[in-house]
């Protein structure tokens, strides 16, 4: 198995080959007991590996940048506004969208576990679930942001949202300058996962946007 060669085996704990055997054994036990249906397992994996991910959230952000009425709906009732795209359900039952502005910067964490808005961002990256991010985001948000390459001036208010309930938070990043005239699709392509967690900003297109 290729798992012997992957560097990330050593980043967070060290999954031994036994883990692979343990999961397989438990899965076949559950199938044998009639508690899980193998085809359903594959459908679950396929959903989060190929269908649900941060491109969903990026479309929401791009729409909000282009359509002021949509942005108003999104900030007032995010659950409903996000559902206009068909994004809803598991781990996004209650959505709140937080708008970043030149004076307020929002970022999201879950210090107690790894709560994350699945319908719009998919499953969280390893760093979001890791002890370094979960422990530091609340006590040293500016230090964390600097690690992500974002140094905010002192005048900017940093708001950290600790996801301690079933409410899920999505950051609406600032639209970068130089993006006037771009289509919704072109704008969505600029929006990164990390900007919607609030640890980075969206950067203007590299090849010189229109002015």
Q: Which of residues 11-70 bind another protein (CB under 8 A)?
A: 11-15, 19-20, 22-30, 32-37, 39-45, 47-49, 53
Tell me which stretch binds another protein (CB under 8 A): 67-75, 140-148, 172-180, 203-211. Answer: 140-148
End-to-end Cα spacing for the chain: 52
Question: Taking Cα atoms as reference points, which of 120, 8, 108 lies closest to residue 62?
Answer: 120
202 binds another protein (CB under 8 A): no
Q: What's the angle, vertex CA 198, arms to CA 146 and CA 49, rounded to 5? A: 115
Counting residues that bind another protein (by CB under 8 A) gives 85
Among this protein's residues, is 195 annotated catalytic? Answer: no
Nearer to another protein, 135 or 183 (CB): 135
Among 77, 99, 162, 174, binds another protein (CB under 8 A): 162
Among 68, 151, 165, 210, binds another protein (CB under 8 A): 165
CA 100 to chain CA mean position, Å? 15
127 binds another protein (CB under 8 A): yes
Q: How far apart are CA 11 and CA 6, in angstroms?
A: 10
Q: Check if the beta carbon of residue 57 is closer than 8 Å to that of residue 194.
A: no
Tell me which stretch binds another protein (CB under 8 A): 63-71, 165-173, 178-186, 203-211. Answer: 165-173
Among this protein's residues, is 165 annotated catalytic? Answer: no
DSSP letter for 201, please: P
Nearer to another protein, 163 or 182 (CB): 163
Q: Check if the beta carbon of residue 138 is closer than 8 Å to that of residue 210.
A: no
141 binds another protein (CB under 8 A): yes
3-state secondary structure of 94: strand
Among 67, 84, 94, 186, binds another protein (CB under 8 A): 94
For tokens 């919607």, name the residue: 196
75 binds another protein (CB under 8 A): no
Closest approach of another protein to the CB of residue 113, in Å = 6
Among this protein's residues, is 130 annotated catalytic? Answer: no
For the CA atoms of 53, 54, 60, 63, the dihedral, rounded to the nearest 10 degrees, stands at: -120
Please identify every residue annotated as catalytic.
Answer: 110, 113-115
């Amino acid at each position: 198995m290729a798992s012997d060669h992957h560097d990330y085996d050593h980043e967070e704990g060290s999954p031994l080959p036994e883990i692979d055997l343990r999961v397989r054994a438990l899965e076949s036990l559950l199938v044998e007991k009639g508690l899980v249906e193998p085809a359903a397992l594959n459908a679950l994996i396929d959903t989060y590996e190929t269908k649900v991910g941060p491109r969903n959230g990026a479309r929401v952000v791009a729409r909000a940048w282009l359509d002021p009425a949509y942005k108003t709906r999104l900030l007032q009732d995010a659950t409903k506004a996000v559902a206009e795209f068909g994004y809803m359900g598991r781990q996004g039952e209650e959505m709140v969208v937080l708008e970043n502005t030149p004076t307020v910067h929002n970022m999201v964490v879950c210090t107690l576990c790894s709560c994350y808005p699945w319908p719009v961002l998919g499953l969280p990256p390893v760093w979001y679930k890791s002890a370094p991010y979960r422990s530091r985001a609340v006590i040293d948000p500016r230090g964390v942001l600097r690690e992500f390459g974002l140094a905010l001036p002192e005048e900017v208010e940093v708001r950290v949202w600790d996801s301690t309930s079933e409410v899920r938070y999505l950051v609406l990043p600032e639209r970068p300058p130089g993006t006037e005239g771009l289509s919704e699709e072109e704008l969505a392509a600029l929006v990164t996962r990390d900007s919607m967690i609030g640890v980075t900003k969206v950067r203007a297109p590299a090849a010189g946007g229109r002015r």
